[in-house]
Amino acid sequence: MLALPGLPLVHPGDDLAGLLASAIEAAGGVAPGDVLVLAQKIVSKAEGRYVDLATVTPSAEAERLSVETDKDARLVEVILRESRRVVRHSKHVLIVEHRCGFVMANAGIDRSNVDPVEGSDPVLLLPEDADASAARLSQALSARFGLSVAVVISDSFGRPWRQGTVGVALGAAGLPALRDLRGEPDLYGRPLRVTETGFADEIAAAASLLMGQGAEGQPAVLVRGLVLDGPDRPAADLIRGAGEDLFR
């Protein structure tokens, strides 16, 4: 795994694929099977996914949740607009089902590492469709290098039952985000019972070790040496349907 050096701070409208390609070239290029893991924030920034809280008027529900969670009502309003529903909340905690299906805190919105601007109060949303963003970036990089470059867009999630955040995949292209091992035998020839691995989530967690937490210093990590067999599957396949979930 290599954290790409030399990537500039990303701004709305930047050609992110171009910036990444230059950084990859400077780092020695790509090899077959490479996966580029990108922190969600640089993708969102390039896509201009900012909302200025100074322009937001909270709904009554946002006002009520703001009191119960001790969060800015305008921020809660933006979180609710990005969400299908609230899964749990308590003081300082607001777990929602994001409109893309991710169950996560604050719909992935926070203020850290967003450029402060005089007279405004910007927050950064997740990419509109992180799988589509990953696919576009993968296509652009693959065309540039004449070689398939898989892309994972990652974020840090808290978890029930366990302390500490871990990297997870919001978007993926060019690899099986969910890997099916059904039917493969164990060491003694019996069918394996655990049948699917969160492949893109494990890649995101691995890359997170190099990205560091929160800071945008190393937002792009190239992962080399994985075997990407199996059909491509997007990160949307990592979302468990509500009907199969015992914890909503």
Which of 8, 32, 55, 161 binds a second copy (CB under 8 A)? It is: 161
Which of 62, 74, 208, 220 binds a second copy (CB under 8 A)? It is: 208
The continuous run of DSSP H or E covering 135 comes out as helix 130-145
Letters for 106-145 (x = contact with a second copy by CB under 8 A, - = none) are ----xxxxxxx-----------------------------
Footprint of a second copy on 67-96 (CB under 8 A): 88, 90, 93, 95
Stretch that binds a second copy, among 76-84, 105-113, 131-139, 142-150 (CB under 8 A): 105-113
Q: Do the bridges between strand 83-90 and strand 93-98 make them parallel or antiparallel, or are there none, so unpaired?
A: antiparallel
Footprint of a second copy on 171-200 (CB under 8 A): 178-179, 181, 184, 186-188, 190, 192-194, 196-199
Residue 230, Ramachandran bin (φ over 0: left; ψ between -120 and 50: alpha; else beta):
left
Please give the structure tokens belonging to residue 65: 């949740």
**In the complex, least distance from residue 11 CB atom to a second copy, rounded to whole angstroms:** 13
Return d(Cα 248, Cα 242) in angstroms, integer: 7
57 versus 188: smaller Cβ distance to a second copy:
188
Which of these, 106, 73, 100, 74, lies nearest to 88 by C-alpha position?
Answer: 106
Return d(Cα 18, Cα 24) in angstroms, integer: 10
Return d(Cα 87, Cα 105) in angstroms, integer: 10
Is 8 among the residues that bind a second copy (CB under 8 A)? no
**In the complex, least distance from residue 27 CB atom to a second copy, rounded to whole angstroms:** 16
| CA-CA-CA-CA torsion sign (182, 186, 189, 194) | negative
Please give the structure tokens belonging to residue 112: 């850290």
Binding site for a second copy (CB under 8 A): 88, 90, 93, 95, 102-103, 110-116, 156, 158-168, 178-179, 181, 184, 186-188, 190, 192-194, 196-199, 201-203, 205-206, 208-209, 213-217, 226, 237-240, 245-248
